[in-house]
Structure 1
Amino acid sequence: MLVALAFAGSQAQAATPVAFDDFVYRGDDAAFATPLAKGQYRNPVLSGFYPDPAVTRVGDRYYLVNSTFAYFPGIPVFESEDLVHWRLLGHAIDRPGQLDFSGLGTSRGVFAPSIAHHGDTFYIFNTAVDNGGNFYVTAKDPAGPWSDPVWLKEVDGIDPSLFIDDDGKAYLLNNGPPEGTPRYAGHRAIWLQAFDLATGQPTGPRKVLLDGGVEPAKNPIWIEGPHIYRRDGWYYLSCAEGGTGPEHSQVVLRARSPWGPFEPYAHNPILTQRDLPADRPHPIANAGHADLVEGRDGRWWAVFLASRIYGEGHYQTGRETFLLPVEWRDGWPVILDAGQAIPQVANGPSWQRGDATQATRSGNFTWRDDFGAKTLDPEWISLRAAPAWADLRSQPGVLLISPRADGLEGHGLPAFLGRRQQHQRFEAQVRVQPPGEQGVTAGLALYQDEAHWYVLGVQRTARGLEVFVQKQTPEGRQVVAHRSIPAGAALHLRIQADAGLGDFAFDTGAGWQPLREREDIHVLSTDLAGGFVGVTVGPYARAEAAPFQED
């Protein structure tokens, strides 16, 4: 018999908090099984949904930021001594009042940050898409606190970045509409304007540095993510081109002045994976959006985004942060030759730390949260706002989540804590105390966006406790499996996935029992769902408008 859940929720009453504990995430990808020799590192260096990396060097340390879109806290700030091992310092958007993500879709919000340092100040420039426009925040300590946003007046477009020349003059770059009427869909331009560090605002006239892309006659699309670097008397303008999918690439031009004119490299792009055979082993695609940085030994390196794919371009792990050395050839930087695949194991910087492990940032690992701390682990993120509904203090060692009427399918504030899916093959499990009242769902959510998700949950009904698997797609919502379980039993829930197949199971004390096996979860792939994020997984509770109802 088909069973459905009745959602809507605005009339749902306040419900008793649901108790969760002992969350475990375990990843086991075959591509990560290759042992690392001394001096090697593994790509990606930040696995899972860490797109649009930007990096800066301060002394002998490196600082990196990523996009987070409508997730909170926003814009993680990482620190590294060797470009391989990254430590999360905090987030640039980490308190109410800095930005308002209310009502935004999952892939709106903060796009493509850039980071710079000058004097004693760190700068992060960014675009708040659909909630404010272009802005920057500052901090003396990269761990924070970061300032409230300073809005950039009359600067449209996206992807702002700051370039500070050797003479102290500063410039603001960004992607914006071209001059006049765009000639085709995806026709954009890279703009430059002087930036007054004293007033904190751009000044003077704006100029187009690059119209369309490096070969305008071919109608290139989505020139974006601009950065300028100075080396040996040349100014290098490097940008992403081709969109964020399989045609993504990185291009470079150079000039004798930051104002141009810029000459494109004859052998662009300097990074792409679009020219490789589809049947290659452990394929990586979507490579681009690079930022370059000089290492302490004088060698240059690039961080960039790419995606580990399976099947016909599918990926739930989102766009991840990769690292490769830069080779300078006749005065031009090259990240990867045409037709060459991104290596998943490579030789690291000469000063790389001696240990080969990259902990929970890359490779195979197990991550556990027993909820014994008084504050949430920074790996957890929530949708659109701080998780005021999460409580770690009332019962030490237990996460209490107050169910909310908002569901995953809307643009509200669902009671959902997610951690990034970092492997194609993984499992996530949690222990949950079944709700004591009808009309409350509690369980694990596997979430791509508001139109693509799964919930492995439990709900108390008039018939007793029911465990279920629910699926959301643009075609609607469906319970694909359910079963009655005994009252009073301790309940563990587990989701296992291997690429596009998912297994959903539960344990009431007699061992794991399958509820739904080999479920086709391709709908969670970013290439099918659209948008710019990857999958997150974690505890979820909702106050339903009604309990289970039979159709």
Structure 2
Amino acid sequence: MPLVRNPILPGFNPDPSIVRVGEDYYIATSTFEWYPGVQIHHSKDLANWELVTRPLSRKSQLDMRGNPDSCGVWAPCLTHDGDKFWLVYTDVKRKDGSLKDTHNYIVTAPSIEGPWSDPVYVNSSGFDPSLFHDDDGKKWFANMLQDHRSRPRQFAGIVLQEFDPSVGKLVGPKKNVFLGTELDLVEGPHLYKRNGWYYLLTAEGGTAYNHACTLARSRDIWGPYEVHPQKHILSSRDTQFAALQRAGHGDIVETPQGKTYLVHLTGRPITQQRRCVLGRETAIQEAFWKDDWLFVKDGPVPSLYVDVPGVRDDTKYWAEQRYTFENGLHKDFQWLRTPETERIFSTQGGKLALFGRESIGSFFEQALVARRQVHFSYDAETVVDFSPADERQFAGLTAYYCRYNFFYLTVTAHSDGQRELLILTSEISWPEGKLEMPLADPVKIPNEGKVKLALTIRGRDLQFFYALGGEELKKIGPVYDASILSDECGGHQSHGSFTGAFVGMACSDINGTVLPATFDYFTYRPVRYETDRYEV
């Protein structure tokens, strides 16, 4: 049987939580400021995965307007107690500096498709919450504990408390059960029970290149927890040339045949700056038990190729995706922060209308609809109909990471009303970076008529194109460095950016008159490119 190549969920799919219900496997991953919240993929064989739902899809469950970049939904935990699904998640309102605002909630559903309940608020003492269903019927809630005083650490340990579903709140004593190891930054707790042992799997070292999975065990759920003989059962921190870097933040699942697998976060850097342009992805490792300890096969360094029950079919992965809007917005697309979609887009009439709101860098309300970049090289194309009156109205095609890092080919207008094409960017423009807007000379175009906009990405190189009427595409602007669309360049802290590169359509009207732009279609075309070391 051929081995499956990691990652199993390519592109921005971090912090995986896995559960098996009968013959079905489900993985929940973080979505941060992208709406709807939490991606859940389904598989029958651990090799082929399909996005089935994003359960946090209404205002009562999630409203992220005002959340900074890389805040929002962190590290969901998906479990099943034999009766229904439980999804635990954090909505982070502030992350930078010593003070963090991290609100933890629980929603439930009878099936993975829903309906998902309104949230029950649990606590705000830290992030990465999880729920463990013990065999005596009790439910235990764990999260990392945040200490803004750093006495001695900001990541102060894993706190545990019983959750009573009958009253919908935490009850009884709470205890800090695990302080972590000297690697520090202990987070991402998951609890398990096997052969009378309680196991606590955590993430340590931060989510960048020191990341690791740390395992500990105890005969009592309250501890004390003994650390694994290897300490870190999975990590790439000491192997800088391993194909899978940033390995950590894992979860464990068993097959019906009793085989154990670990899913985990990973990244695949490009360029000498080690930039992960596809964001943090989800990989899988085969594992085994020995002396009541779990070991990763051929670990602790993660393997690029893994033996799983199924054989992956990559046909869809490499297929061109041409999106039209007759049946609404395709599930591949997301938008930013807001649950009130009627204020930012519509698909009536078979086209996508974006209603110009705030700028592309707004933390509150912007009309931007995009899909993940899941290949190192690809082409994207759309056709836009937009009639701006001045330079404060612009719409077009964007390769987007966050408000600090994007490239944006816009249809806009000069202050005299003449329509033009203008490339905008905000490459690390705050607080110390140099503002680079615009990057290329504007190109005047007729004041009426649709415009075809396109871009190509080949590894780190991005090139924009445009065409008028029935003309062939022609280049506009220089070749840009697309590798800045990565965690490593996502803002003023390399440890503080957690999402991934997107490509899509946007519209802004910072006059406040909500001028719409209409898009006929959107095409995403994967390209096999000879320098993409993991895909050819």
TM-score, with normalisation over the residues of structure 2? Answer: 0.86
1:208 is the counterpart of 2:176: yes
Q: CA deviation at 1:437?
A: 4.2
Match of 1:479 in 2: 438
After the TM superposition, list the runs of 4 or more consecutive aligned residues in structure 1 that deviate by more than 6 angstroms: none
- 1:264-343 equivalences under 5 Å are 264-278=227-241, 283-311=243-271, 312-335=273-296, 337=298, 340-343=301-304
Amino acid paired to 1:108: C
1:542 is the counterpart of 2:508: yes
- 1:336-485 equivalences under 5 Å are 337=298, 340-343=301-304, 345-349=305-309, 352=310, 356-358=312-314, 360=316, 363-373=317-327, 375-386=328-339, 387-388=341-342, 389-393=344-348, 395-396=349-350, 398-404=351-357, 406-435=358-387, 437-439=389-391, 440-461=393-414, 462=416, 464-473=418-427, 474=429, 475-481=434-440, 482-485=442-445
Amino acid paired to 1:433: D
Measure, in 2, the Cα distance between the counterparts of 1:117 and 1:230.
15
Aligned-residue identity in percent: 32
Q: Secondary structure at the match of 1:188?
A: strand
Any stretches of 5+ residues in structure 1 without a counterpart? Answer: 1-37, 547-551
Q: CA deviation at 1:413?
A: 1.0
Q: CA deviation at 1:98?
A: 1.9
Measure, in 1, the Cα distance between the counterparts of 2:122 and 2:159.
14
* Shift in CA distance, 408/431, structure 1 to aligned 2, threshold 3 Å: same
Q: CA deviation at 1:489?
A: 4.9
Measure, in 2, the Cα distance between the counterparts of 1:544 and 1:118.
49
Measure, in 1, the Cα distance between the counterparts of 2:292 and 2:260.
13
Measure, in 2, the Cα distance between the counterparts of 1:97 and 1:348.
39
Match of 2:464 in 1: 504
Contact kept? 2:17, 2:77, Cα under 8 Å: yes
Amino acid paired to 1:272: S
Match of 1:533 in 2: 499
Measure, in 2, the Cα distance between the counterparts of 1:76 and 1:414.
21
Q: CA deviation at 1:128?
A: 1.3
Measure, in 1, the Cα distance between the counterparts of 2:13 and 2:302.
20
* Shift in CA distance, 407/463, structure 1 to aligned 2, threshold 3 Å: closer
Match of 2:525 in 1: none
Q: CA deviation at 1:340?
A: 3.6
Any stretches of 5+ residues in structure 2 without a counterpart? Answer: 94-100, 513-536
Contact kept? 2:234, 2:302, Cα under 8 Å: no
Q: Secondary structure at the match of 2:229?
A: coil
Measure, in 1, the Cα distance between the counterparts of 2:150 and 2:353.
52
Q: Secondary structure at the match of 1:527?
A: helix
Measure, in 2, the Cα distance between the counterparts of 1:421 and 1:46.
12
**What is the CA RMSD across the aligned residues, in angstroms?**
2.2
Spell out, residue by residue over 1:392-432, the C-alpha distance to the aligned partner (whole angstroms, 9 max, x if none).
11x22x2122222x011221211110111112212211111
Measure, in 1, the Cα distance between the counterparts of 2:110 and 2:444.
56
Moved more, 108-117 or 90-99: 90-99
Q: Secondary structure at the match of 1:522?
A: helix
Measure, in 1, the Cα distance between the counterparts of 2:127 and 2:146.
10
Between 1 and 2, higher relative CO (CA 8 Å, sep ≥ 6) is seen in 1
Q: Secondary structure at the match of 2:361?
A: coil
Q: CA deviation at 1:488?
A: 4.4
Measure, in 2, the Cα distance between the counterparts of 1:450 and 1:436.
22
Amino acid paired to 2:186: I
Contact kept? 2:286, 2:306, Cα under 8 Å: no
Contact kept? 1:275, 1:339, Cα under 8 Å: no
Amino acid paired to 1:309: P
1:164 is the counterpart of 2:133: yes
Match of 1:518 in 2: 479
Measure, in 1, the Cα distance between the counterparts of 2:365 and 2:315.
31
Spell out, residue by residue over 1:194-250, the C-alpha distance to the aligned partner (whole angstroms, 9 max, x if none).
222322322111112111x13xxx3x3210111111122221111000000000000
Measure, in 2, the Cα distance between the counterparts of 1:320 and 1:381.
17
Measure, in 1, the Cα distance between the counterparts of 2:508 and 2:39.
28
Q: Count the aligned residue pairs.
A: 488
Match of 1:27 in 2: none
Measure, in 2, the Cα distance between the counterparts of 1:95 and 1:252.
36
Amino acid paired to 1:334: F
Measure, in 2, the Cα distance between the counterparts of 1:64 and 1:338.
22
Measure, in 1, the Cα distance between the counterparts of 2:321 and 2:36.
20
Measure, in 2, the Cα distance between the counterparts of 1:45 and 1:415.
31
Measure, in 2, the Cα distance between the counterparts of 1:174 and 1:327.
26
Q: CA deviation at 1:452?
A: 1.4
Measure, in 2, the Cα distance between the counterparts of 1:522 and 1:378.
26
